[in-house]
Amino acid sequence: MSSSHCPAILIAAPASGQGKTTIASALARLHTRQGRKVRVFKCGPDFLDPYWHTLASGAPVYQMDLWMTGEADCRARLSQAATQADLIIVEGVMGLFDGEPSAADLAQRFGLHVLAVVDASAMAGTFGALAFGLQNYRAHMPWAGVLANRVASERHAGMLERSVREPAQWMGAVMRNAAMTLPERHLGLTVASEVGDALQRLDAAADALATTPLGQMTLQDLQRWRVEFNPAEDARTVVPVPGLQGKTIAVARDAAFCFIYAANLDCLRALGAELVFFSPLADAALPACDAVWIPGGYPELHAQTIAANTALRASLAAHIQAGKPVWAECGGMMALFDTLVTVDGQHHAQWGLLRGVVTMQKRLAALGPQQLRLPSGTLRGHTFHYSTTDTPLEASLRTARPDADPMPDAGEALWVQGSVRASYFHAWFPSCPEAVVELFSPPAKVELAA
């Protein structure tokens, strides 16, 4: 297989909340406006940042994680992107060295040059020390430079620039500007499609970046960050058995249920499934289908609307009564229970298809990578939720952390009732297509075939 090459940078930071997503999206928007092809990827299991990257670049955005998606998948996607793009941007996760594997691990594995974004609003000379530490904490880290974010004034920017040991690594300063702030809520950034002036915010950020050394780089300048990518020979780009051939899967997709990996949709199609989409907020019935997927999202923000759509609830109940599969992840699972209690103590009746009460919490209830071992194979994914569930249902299985065995009272429960499978676990479908076939097949049929 021949290799491909392309300028590629990983936008990192010393911690969460420094403005990585804003800068990554601004850089993508800036080059896209100039007619260049930009491909953006997100490090880690994140659903929300990719909405902004997609809007900025005009291209699909996929996740990269050396554990969840796997090195071969990452390599194949980077190699393919390098044949199509003028610039590859990977947004890191948390701080540069946080997590196992970390964004730094990804950068070193593939030779991605690291651009550090630092919120400099409350520092001056320490900015240079922080940049030096990020660059030199680990040997042989490919380095692009450092960008100061949320800077107060030109005088402040000058102080920051003078603190950087190597002048060539100064990528500029972006001033504090409310017009380019990306709105947030409890699970992270607000989905771009819900923000009426989302593109204007990205344009404002791109305009601000255009005044910096980073933003003024030409295609020729970008070649200093060129990386050669060799396609992975063992990448599983084709699913070996189209186990869902002839099946139609209805996927919930609207403001309440929007946590969907693009790779998961690709996987279902590769397995032979036809996908149709519906809105539990607006539609009165399921489309004609053989199985249903209700992904995660924000049911707590739409609890009244969900409760009021009794027609959709009846259609879903009929689907379940007919023994047709339902896979419900996190927010999708929450809507299946009897009651959802919001943070302010309001009780909202939900679909009542599973017995139990879901209660929103002010703090995270669970976070981290998880794997679900089904009879047909092990799915990798993650958990991230602010609610807890009180249910008389017995867990059929439980997830485990990477390289760990499931414990009776640890990990996320997989609840199985009739043809419904539900869990807080968010699955990365390409990690085990055989298990995906199991999830979207009637339970009795899978058991008989086992």
Q: Output the CA–CA distances (angstroms, integers) from residue 315 to 132, 138, 310, 318, 321, in the order listed.
A: 59, 56, 9, 5, 10
User: How far is 56 from 198, CA to CA, in rounded Å?
Assistant: 10
Question: Exposed (0-12), middle (13-18) or buried (19+): which is 225, by Cβ within 10 Å?
Answer: buried
Three-state DSSP at 260 gives: coil
Candidate list 6, 267, 330, 432, residue with the active-site label: 330
267 is catalytic: no
Q: Strands (DSSP E) along 257-334, which ranges?
A: 274-278, 291-294, 326-329
Give the list of residues 6+ apart from residue 203 with CB closer than 8 angstroms, or none.
Answer: 29, 33
For residue 136, the tally of other CB atoms under 10 A from its CB is 11
User: How far is 307 from 161, CA to CA, in rounded Å?
Assistant: 55
For residue 226, the tally of other CB atoms under 10 A from its CB is 13
Give one word for 65, left, alpha or beta, with left for phi > 0 and alpha for psi -120 to 50: beta
Question: Exposed (0-12), middle (13-18) or buried (19+): which is 178, by Cβ within 10 Å?
Answer: exposed
Residues with catalytic roles: 330
